[in-house]
Amino acid sequence: MKIGYDAKRLFNNFTGLGNYSRTMIDILTTYVPEHQYLLYSPKVTRNQVTMPYLEMEGCRTIVPTGMMKGSLWRTYGMASALKNDEIDLFHGLSNELPVGLERRRIPSVVTIHDVAFHTFPDMYRWHDRMIYDRKWKYACRHASHIIAISESTKADIIRFYDVPEEKISVVYQPVNKVYYEREALEPPLTPPKEGDSCCFESSSLGGFCPPITGEPKGVQRPLNKRGVSGSMVPYMLYVGSVNSRKNLLGIVKAMELLPADLQLPLTIVGGGGNYKREVEQYIAEHHIGHLFQWATAIDSESLKQLYTNATMFLYPSFYEGFGLPVVEALLSGCPVLTSNTSSLPEAGGPGSLQVDPRNVEEIRDGIVKILTDDVLRNQMIENGRKYAQEKFHPETLAKKVEEVYERVV
């Protein structure tokens, strides 16, 4: 079968939707190699992330060569290219479909990731919400079948777009293959030498590099799980965009309520705008900048080590289409505190500790429980990893996508 993909995000986006596109192609070419995979993109950014897909066996990249270019081609010209290439099936990987597939009798699948512009409208400009809503509505109406990345997202699609339940299949989001390469995961982070500069982009509010001597008063060495050994200070971890939906301020306020001897530093991996400035202002006004360090860009291997070495991962988000960082943490053997809302119980499973994200005291109590109960923490590590490996194994997900394709063609 010859399958076409909207690869704009794969070649030009290096966060969420781009990561999904790349990992989807990774698992399909690995576990379903018998098909031809054609990647359609209005342009290609060439770097160390995208170059493997330009050379990947079984794949071919197509960019427009005529007068129609860019977004115009992606929306209105791609269908003609698909027809000329005799595509058997098209998969829109990021919530959208090109216009004209039905007219050319090309079956289609679209992945819908979330409808956050409906559930958290204040995060989006009115104009953007209208554009997104129109694109999502068109895709849901015209796709032969829809892939939702969680049961929660499936429910949202039915709720907002009145789609028949039988038209939607849930296939969870694939995880970067580095989280399944155990031999590459075990080496601990190298503790910094005295005088070394921090490897993180520090906040102007007093970001820090973990000192080589000392540790928070009262924190005992059992908190130092694999890789956090010797003189490194234990730390907690947050990974994700810094926006109001992710609830980083709730984490900050919960940390402020912790007993002094349990106030481990928090490493924050992710960038943001106005909401990040709000969080920074709160941290500055409450004189707790010494508890936070910021990183805005980090490679997959280094991020994996951060998960592996963290005492716990904090992700009490208000709403997620899936919650990929939760799964990454589980696969890394990191205990997870997350929310009991939207898709996060699916991502975290029974091995995570789930709290009400609106309740700062409940977040604090969850942190205390994980820090002070060694038996619980070890059970969370073991059960969380087992759940994630079974539920989100790339071969399982690839076969489920293949089942959707066979259903449509």
pLDDT per residue as tens digits for the range 269-310 = 998 899 999 999 999 999 999 999 998 778 888 999 999 999
CB 23 within 8 A of CB 175: yes
Give 125's contacts (C-beta < 8 A, 6+ positions apart).
Answer: none
pLDDT in tens, 44-66: 999 999 999 999 999 999 999 88
pLDDT value of position 211: 30
pLDDT value of position 324: 95
pLDDT value of position 10: 97
pLDDT band per the 50, 70, 90 thresholds, residue 232: low
Residue linked to tokens 């943001």: 272
- Its pTM stands at 0.85
The mean-pLDDT minimum among 27-31, 119-123, 220-224 falls in 220-224
Q: What is the CA radius of gyration of the chain?
A: 22
pLDDT at 230 over 50: no
pLDDT value of position 182: 54
The Cα–Cα gap between 301 and 111 comes to: 27
pLDDT band per the 50, 70, 90 thresholds, residue 180: confident
pLDDT in tens, 80-114: 999 999 999 999 999 999 999 999 999 999 999 99
Residue 48 burial by CB count (10 A; 0-12/13-18/19+): exposed, middle or buried? exposed
Residue linked to tokens 């996060």: 344
pLDDT value of position 22: 96
Q: For residue 192, how many other CB atoms are within 10 A of its CB?
A: 16
Q: Whats the size of the chain, residue-wise?
A: 409
Backbone angles phi, psi at 382, to 5 degrees: -70, -50
The mean pLDDT value of the chain amounts to 87
Please give the domain boundaries of the chain with CATH numbers for all domains: 2-174+393-408 (3.40.50.2000), 179-391 (3.40.50.2000)
pLDDT in tens, 382-393: 999 999 999 999
Identity of residue 310: A
pLDDT value of position 185: 36
pLDDT at 134 over 90: yes
Q: By three-state DSSP, how is residue 109 classified?
A: strand
pLDDT value of position 300: 87
Mean pLDDT of 24-39: 97
pLDDT value of position 306: 94
| For helices 248-256 and 274-285, angle between their N-to-C axes, nearest 10 degrees | 10
Mean pLDDT of 253-275: 94
pLDDT in tens, 324-376: 999 999 999 999 999 999 999 999 999 999 999 999 999 999 999 999 999 99
pLDDT in tens, 193-228: 333 333 333 332 223 233 322 333 223 333 333 333
pLDDT value of position 299: 86
Rounded to an integer, what is the distance from CA 132 to the centroid of its chain? 20
